């Protein structure tokens, strides 16, 4: 497969490019690229293949610093509204105004999504999904400093298939649930102008290779074999090198709950918040069934639900349960160690909430570990099973993992979560999906040590749950606590 147009090649980096500002050439590890030195610099390219029905573009990119999700506070955005957006390529000369572009290939420091390409005018939310438009996103994709990446984008507009690749590894797919994705014609010229990167060879093709073809293309352009960064990409986004999860509770772990969830009183353990008609008890377990359609007003929160444990748990925390999805779409998540911003019991100190809104997870002053364990929504990678762990309300991703295939429907799957101090581990069907440390001393504060548990289901979800078990372990062997009887009287 030969490119139709090539730019920024090592031999003649500025051939075919119009430049209106300062740039410099950066060479590392035998590969060269051009860095726009100023935020106002624009490199203009006047030929590409983006308007073909099928095609591919590859870009060698060198990040000049480590880039990952960062929390953006209001006073920074007041000065620079686009401070967390890093445009790679756009057909709009004001490249930081990416919603105004028809084609934009962009990385952002958001917690989700981080990297996207689109072929229509508008933003990602809700413009890419209502109605369904040609966009592809990849969440939780970070850059190591001073390491070359080959980024790839493929498209087949007739089949409504769009893909994102990094070093030949598939990291993002377009919405598999939409029957067709609307696209618009891209501009004749493209622009590059982001000083955080050095841009290496950029090639446009009129063919749409599959995953094997993209891996071969990377291998041909990057002789010398695999490296640890690519292995990490394959572990994270392709389920490579699966690691067995072998935790079992020892005598230090105290059982707190052991419920089959199929008895008439199963729901008595929970406060149902939001769509109260969603949960019901069946012989198989608790069935949570939310609406399949959005509310006509767009208020899909009306169709979402939380099942909060009435009991709060303290100390190191472990749980397991089984779940059975019956629809390929929908989304289920856990809120773990959920407590108030000062460690208070938010369910005891404040009025119980009644909305199923997602905002409670990430922006309503409830600290929690947010684990999306069944992800089949339009705006996530829904061709395989993926998991995301985020520390809230800071919107700080802690882990992301894609399996090699989707979770089987109408089959029981075992979920396990264990927190031991700052170490957080999660597994599905005996395979580890994250093993991370929530380090104290960051801007998100210390790790969480107590709180309620919630199972949350978004709209168009239909899952069964059974055999919920919870254990706790004291935070310190010498720590003893007891309640004191309050004998104070106002008389």
User: Could you identify the residue written with the tokens 């069934």?
Assistant: 289
The yes or no reply on domain 254-473 and CATH 3.90.76.10 is no
- How would you write the pLDDT of the chain (491 residues) with one tens digit per residue? 899 999 998 767 788 899 999 999 999 999 999 999 999 999 999 999 999 999 999 999 999 999 998 877 788 888 988 899 999 999 999 999 999 999 999 999 988 889 999 999 999 988 999 899 999 999 899 999 999 999 999 999 999 999 999 999 999 999 999 999 999 999 999 999 999 999 999 999 999 999 999 999 999 988 766 799 999 999 999 999 999 999 999 999 999 999 999 999 999 999 999 999 999 999 999 999 998 766 555 565 778 999 999 999 999 999 999 999 999 999 999 999 999 999 999 999 999 999 998 999 999 999 999 999 999 988 899 899 999 999 999 999 999 999 999 999 999 999 999 999 999 999 999 999 999 999 877 788 999 999 999 999 998 999 999 999 999 999 887 888 888 876 665 55
**Residue 477 has what pLDDT?**
79
- Domain 5-73+80-237 classification at class level: mainly beta
**191-225: b (≥16 Cβ within 10 Å) or e:** bbbbbbbbbbbbbbbebbbeeebbbebbeeebeee
**233-262: b (≥16 Cβ within 10 Å) or e:** bbbbbbbeeeeebeeeeeeebeebeebebb
**Residue 439 has what pLDDT?**
83
Domain layout of the chain by residue ranges = 5-73+80-237, 254-473
**Residue 298 has what pLDDT?**
57
**Residue 489 has what pLDDT?**
55
Q: CA–CA separation, 56 vs 3, rounded Å?
A: 9
3-state secondary structure of 212: helix
Q: pLDDT, tens digit, for every residue of 366-389?
A: 999 999 999 998 889 989 999 999
Q: Are 189 and 91 in contact (CB under 8 A)?
A: yes
Task: Kindly give, in sequence order, each residue whose CB lies less than 8 Å from that of residue 242, ignoring residues fewer than 6 positions away.
Answer: 431, 432
Share of the chain above pLDDT 90, in %: 82
3-state secondary structure of 75: helix
Q: What is the CA radius of gyration of the chain?
A: 24
**Residue 255 has what pLDDT?**
97
Q: Which helix (H) or strand (E) holds 348?
A: helix 346-349
**Residue 299 has what pLDDT?**
62
């Amino acid at each position: 497969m030969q490119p139709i147009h090539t730019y920024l090649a090592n031999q003649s980096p500025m051939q075919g490019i119009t430049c209106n500002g300062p740039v410099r050439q950066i060479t590392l590890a035998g590969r060269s690229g051009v860095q726009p030195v100023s935020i106002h610099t624009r490199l203009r390219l006047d030929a590409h293949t983006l308007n073909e029905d099928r095609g591919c573009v590859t870009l060698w990119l060198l990040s000049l610093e480590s880039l990952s999700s960062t929390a953006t506070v209001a006073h920074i955005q007041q000065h620079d509204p686009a401070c967390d957006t890093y445009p790679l390529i756009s057909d709009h000369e004001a490249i930081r105004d990416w919603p105004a572009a028809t084609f934009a290939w962009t990385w952002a420091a958001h917690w989700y999504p981080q990297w996207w390409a689109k072929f229509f005018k508008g933003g990602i939310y809700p413009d890419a999904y209502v109605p369904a438009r040609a966009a592809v996103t990849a969440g939780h994709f970070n850059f190591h400093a001073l390491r070359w990446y080959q980024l790839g984008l493929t498209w087949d507009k007739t089949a409504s298939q769009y893909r994102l690749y990094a070093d030949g590894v598939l990291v993002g797919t377009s919405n598999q649930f939409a029957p067709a994705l609307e696209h618009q014609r891209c501009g004749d010229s493209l622009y590059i102008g982001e000083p955080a990167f050095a841009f290496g060879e950029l090639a446009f093709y009129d063919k749409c290779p599959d995953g094997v073809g993209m891996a071969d293309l990377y291998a041909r352009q990057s002789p010398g074999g695999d490296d640890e960064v690519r292995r990490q990409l394959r572990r994270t986004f392709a389920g490579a090198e699966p690691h067995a999860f072998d935790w079992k509770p020892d005598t230090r772990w105290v059982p707190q709950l052991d419920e089959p969830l199929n008895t008439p009183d199963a729901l008595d353990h929970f406060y149902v918040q939001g769509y109260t008609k969603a949960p019901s008890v069946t012989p198989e377990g608790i069935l949570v069934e939310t609406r399949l359609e959005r509310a006509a007003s767009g208020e899909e929160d009306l169709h979402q639900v939380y099942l909060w444990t009435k009991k709060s748990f303290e100390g190191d925390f472990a749980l397991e349960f089984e779940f059975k999805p019956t629809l390929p779409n929908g989304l289920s998540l856990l809120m773990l160690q959920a407590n108030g911003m000062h460690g208070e019991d938010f369910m005891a100190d404040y009025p119980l909430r009644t909305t199923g809104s997602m905002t409670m997870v990430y922006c309503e002053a409830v600290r929690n570990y947010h684990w999306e364990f069944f992800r089949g929504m339009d705006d996530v990678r829904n061709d395989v099973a993926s998991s995301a762990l985020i520390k809230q309300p800071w919107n700080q991703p802690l882990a992301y993992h894609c399996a090699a295939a989707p979770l089987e429907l109408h089959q029981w799957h075992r979920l396990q979560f264990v927190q031991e101090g700052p170490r957080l581990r999660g597994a599905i069907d005996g395979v580890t999906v994250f093993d991370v440390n929530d380090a104290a001393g960051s801007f998100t504060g210390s790790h969480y040590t107590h709180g309620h548990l919630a199972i949350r289901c978004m709209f168009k979800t239909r899952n069964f749950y059974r055999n919920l078990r919870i254990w706790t372990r004291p935070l310190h062997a010498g720590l003893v606590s007891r309640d004191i009887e309050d004998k104070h009287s106002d008389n």
